[in-house]
Chains A and B, each alone.
Chain A
C-alpha cells in the first residue's frame, strides 16, 4: 500500500528539529545565547529537575538552539536522538564513559584517527579501560578479541589513513552476537554518504568540525543513538539497567525503552564531564547541515576528478581511494558507500621526504593545515608534520610512506585544483634533481 513516509534527506537537512519561533515568528532558528532558562514557578522548577516535564534548565545540559542541531543530526542519521559535544573527541569520550568504566574493555579498529588512538591507548588506560586493536578487515579478529568485560566495538566508517571500509553489517553482527553495541566514527562519510544505523551500527559519532560544518569555522562533536540496541536484554550494562544512585535511583532502561543510553549520557555525562557544545557553535553547524547534501555531492564529484588525475600521474606511486579497483575494499565500498567514498584520501609520491615538502610548499590553492572537511581544499604531509618523529620503518608500520600526502578536497573548481596539483608535482620533480 503506498502511503506517507518521513520526509527525504534533503528536506530533513533543512527542516528537521526547527519550526518558526513561536515568540517572534523568526523562520531561521534563533541563536539562544543564554546560560539558563526561567522557571514559571517553584512547582515548574521541581518538575523539570525531577524529569516530570521536558524543558531547558541550563545550557550545559541542553539549549534550544543546540537541541535543533541535535534533532536534525539524529533525523539525518535515522536515529532517535543525539547529544552535541564540545568536539568529536568529547563525543567519543561521552560514548565510552556512559557505558564503560575501570575494568572495562573495548575492541577497536587499528585504523583510527590519531586522537582516538591516543585516547584509547594511553588516556583511558590510565582510568582502567583497556583496548584491543584489530585490523578492521580481519573480521574473525573482532570476534576473537571480545572478552567477558568487553563493552563496545568501535571503528571508523572510513579508517585512517588508508580509508579501510568498515564492514559494518558483519562487525555489527559479531557485536550483537556477543550482546555488545557497535560504535562508529562517521566523520569522513557523513549521513549523506552512509547511514550506519541502517547497516547495523548502534551508536554513531562525528567530529562536526569537518563536513557537517563544512566551513572550517567551529570545533564540535555529536553522538547519536540508533535506539535499536537492547541494553537490558544484553545483561552487560548495569549502568543503564540497574538503579543509578547519581540520579534518584533511576533505571534508565525502564524510563525509556529505546532512549536509555541518551538519558544517561545527557543526565550524567554532560552534567558531570561538562563537555557541552556552545549554542553559537550549534547555530553555525545548522547553517552547515542545511547544505550538507549539496556540498557532499560536490565534494565527492571534485574528489573523483582529482583522484583520476593523480592516479594517472607518473610521479604518483599510489592513490588510496576505495572507488579505485586497486583499493582492497573496492567491492565493499560499492555495496556500503554507493554515493561515494568521501573527499579525504592519501596518495604516495615517488621520492623522498624532501620532495613531499617541495610539493606542499608549491601548492597555492590547497592550504597546508591539520584539518579535513573544509569547503577549502587542504593538504598535509604526515612525514614532516604529524608523524615527523618517526623513522621510515615506523612510518611504514603506520601505513605512511615518506612521500604520503593526505588531501581533503574542497568545493573549488576542480580544474583549478588539478592545475594547482600539477604545478606542485612539477616542483616535487625538480626537487629530486
Chain B
C-alpha cells in the first residue's frame, strides 16, 4: 500500500490482503538495511487472522522515498505519521533490531496509540563497534558479508521464506546489497550509526504503558539475549527465547510466530 508521509511516498506491505478501514492494526518495523519483506510470513499470518497489517519500508529503504531519517526519534515520528496516513489510531508495534528501537520510541512518544509492543532481536544500548562502523564506511560489501555471517546461526535454517529451497544467507545478503545499491549514499553505515547513537531506550521504556514482550535468539551474536535484560526489566516484559541467530524471522519463523501469538493473539 502506498501512503504519503511528511509529503513523501511511503510503502507498507499489507500481508496479501486489502487494508481495511477499521479493525485492530499491527505494524512491523524492519531492521538496518532491511525492508518489509523480512516480515512476510508474520504479516500474512496476521492479515489472515483479523488484523490490518502495515509492514513498512522505512524512509530510504525499498519502496519508501528517502532520505533516511537521521535518528531513532525521527523514525518513531515518521512511523506515527504513517499510522495517521493509514487511518490507524492504535496499533501493535513490532520491531526487529533497529526497528525494535523505533517501535519502542514510538510507543513512548504516543502511549495511547500503542496497543502492544513486541521487540524482536533487540538490545539496549545497541552499540556498534568502531571497527564495524569503520568497515561499513570504507568497505560496505565486506561489512555486509560480516553482518550476514554474524546474523545467521545455522547452515540449515529451514523451512522458511520464500519457501523450501531458500538459502537464507544468500537471501539476506542479496536483500542488503539491493537496498545498499539503490540508496543515495551509504545506507548501511547510516543505519548502524542510527542504532549506535540511540541513547533514550531506558527513558522510553519507562514511558511505555502498553503490554510489552521481547523475543530474542539464544544464538544471536548481534544482539545477544543478555543485552536485552535491562530493557525487559524496565518494560516489565516477558522474554521469549527462540533457538536462532539474529535473523529470527528467517531462521525460526514458526517459533517466532508462536511467541508472537502469546504477545498479540489472533
Least distance between A306 CB and chain B CB atoms (Å): 35
Cα–Cα distance between A257 and B45 once the two chains are bound (Å): 18
| A74 and B165 in contact, given A1-B132, A52-B41, A257-B37 (Cβ under 8 angstroms) | yes
Q: Which of B99-107, B119-127, B151-159, B232-240 contacts A (4 or more CB under 8 A)?
A: B151-159
| A84 and B165 in contact, given A17-B155, A71-B156 (Cβ under 8 angstroms) | yes
Q: Mark A41-83, 1 if CB is under 8 A from B, else 0.
A: 0000011001111111000001110111011001100111111
Q: Which of A98-106, A114-122, A133-141, A259-267 contacts B (4 or more CB under 8 A)?
A: A259-267
For residue B166, CB closer than 8 A to chain A, the reply is: yes
Is B158 a contact partner of A257 (Cβ separation < 8 A)? no
For residue B217, CB closer than 8 A to chain A, the reply is: no
For residue B149, CB closer than 8 A to chain A, the reply is: yes
Q: Mark A223-254, 1 if CB is under 8 A from B, else 0.
A: 00011101000000000000000001010001
A interface bracket (residues with beta carbon within 8 Å of B): 35 or more
Is A19 a contact partner of B16 (Cβ separation < 8 A)? no
Cα–Cα distance between A258 and B35 once the two chains are bound (Å): 11
Number of interface residues of B (CB under 8 A): 45
Q: Which of A5-13, A86-94, A176-184, A330-338 contacts B (4 or more CB under 8 A)?
A: A5-13
Chain B, 158-193, CB within 8 A of any chain A CB: 158-167, 169-171, 174-175, 177-178
For residue B148, CB closer than 8 A to chain A, the reply is: yes
For residue B95, CB closer than 8 A to chain A, the reply is: no
Is B158 a contact partner of A67 (Cβ separation < 8 A)? yes
Cα–Cα distance between A16 and B165 once the two chains are bound (Å): 11
Could you say which residues of chain A place their CB within 8 Å of the CB of B156? Answer: 15-19, 68, 71
Could you say which residues of chain A place their CB within 8 Å of the CB of B158? Answer: 17, 54, 67, 71
Is A3 a contact partner of B146 (Cβ separation < 8 A)? yes
Is B146 a contact partner of A6 (Cβ separation < 8 A)? no
Chain A, 1-46, CB within 8 A of any chain B CB: 1, 3-7, 12, 15-19, 46
Q: Mark A194-219, 1 if CB is under 8 A from B, else 0.
A: 00000000000000000000000000
Cα–Cα distance between A228 and B180 once the two chains are bound (Å): 12
For residue B257, CB closer than 8 A to chain A, the reply is: yes
Chain B, 175-228, CB within 8 A of any chain A CB: 175, 177-178
Q: Mark B27-66, 1 if CB is under 8 A from A, else 0.
A: 0000000011100110011001000000000000010000
Least distance between A199 CB and chain B CB atoms (Å): 15
Cα–Cα distance between A361 and B25 once the two chains are bound (Å): 75
For residue A255, CB closer than 8 A to chain B, the reply is: yes
Is B164 a contact partner of A258 (Cβ separation < 8 A)? no
Is B149 a contact partner of A227 (Cβ separation < 8 A)? no
B62 to chain A: closest residue by CB: A257
Is A67 a contact partner of B164 (Cβ separation < 8 A)? yes
From B37, B132, B165, give the contact of A83 (CB < 8 A).
B165
| A71 and B253 in contact, given A16-B155, A250-B16 (Cβ under 8 angstroms) | no
For residue A256, CB closer than 8 A to chain B, the reply is: yes
Could you say which residues of chain A place their CB within 8 Å of the CB of B160? Answer: 54
Is B162 a contact partner of A256 (Cβ separation < 8 A)? yes
Chain A, 356-377, CB within 8 A of any chain B CB: none
Is B48 a contact partner of A258 (Cβ separation < 8 A)? no
Least distance between B144 CB and chain A CB atoms (Å): 11
Cα–Cα distance between A82 and B132 once the two chains are bound (Å): 32
Could you say which residues of chain A place their CB within 8 Å of the CB of B148? Answer: 6
Cα–Cα distance between A103 and B255 once the two chains are bound (Å): 45
From A1, A19, A80, A255, give the contact of B167 (CB < 8 A).
A80
From B41, B62, B131, B174, give the contact of A80 (CB < 8 A).
B174
Could you say which residues of chain B place their CB within 8 Å of the CB of A12? Answer: 155
Could you say which residues of chain B place their CB within 8 Å of the CB of A18? Answer: 155-156
Is A6 a contact partner of B134 (Cβ separation < 8 A)? no
Is A53 a contact partner of B149 (Cβ separation < 8 A)? no
Could you say which residues of chain A place their CB within 8 Å of the CB of B62? Answer: 257
Is B164 a contact partner of A257 (Cβ separation < 8 A)? no
Least distance between B255 CB and chain A CB atoms (Å): 11
Could you say which residues of chain B place their CB within 8 Å of the CB of A51? Answer: 16, 40-41, 44
B146 to chain A: closest residue by CB: A3
| A5 and B165 in contact, given A19-B156, A75-B170, A257-B62 (Cβ under 8 angstroms) | no
Could you say which residues of chain B place their CB within 8 Å of the CB of A262? Answer: 162-163, 165-166
Is B169 a contact partner of A52 (Cβ separation < 8 A)? no
For residue B254, CB closer than 8 A to chain A, the reply is: yes
A227 to chain B: closest residue by CB: B174
Could you say which residues of chain B place their CB within 8 Å of the CB of A250? Answer: 16
Could you say which residues of chain B place their CB within 8 Å of the CB of A6? Answer: 145, 148-149, 169
Could you say which residues of chain B place their CB within 8 Å of the CB of A227? Answer: 170-171, 174-175, 178
| A53 and B254 in contact, given A5-B145, A17-B158 (Cβ under 8 angstroms) | yes
From A52, A257, A266, give the contact of B44 (CB < 8 A).
A52
From A1, A47, A256, give the contact of B146 (CB < 8 A).
A1
Could you say which residues of chain A place their CB within 8 Å of the CB of B19? Answer: none
Cα–Cα distance between A293 and B9 once the two chains are bound (Å): 49
Extra inter-chain contacts (10) besides given A4-B149, A51-B16, A66-B164, CB under 8 Å? A3-B142, A47-B45, A50-B44, A52-B45, A54-B163, A80-B167, A81-B165, A227-B170, A227-B171, A262-B166
B contacts, CB < 8 Å to A = 13, 16, 35-37, 40-41, 44-45, 48, 62, 131-132, 134-135, 142-143, 145-146, 148-150, 154-156, 158-167, 169-171, 174-175, 177-178, 253-254, 257
A contacts, CB < 8 Å to B = 1, 3-7, 12, 15-19, 46-47, 50-56, 62-64, 66-68, 70-71, 74-75, 78-84, 226-228, 230, 248, 250, 254-260, 262-263, 266-267
**A–B pairs, 6, beta carbons within 8 Å:** A15-B156, A70-B164, A74-B165, A80-B171, A258-B171, A263-B162
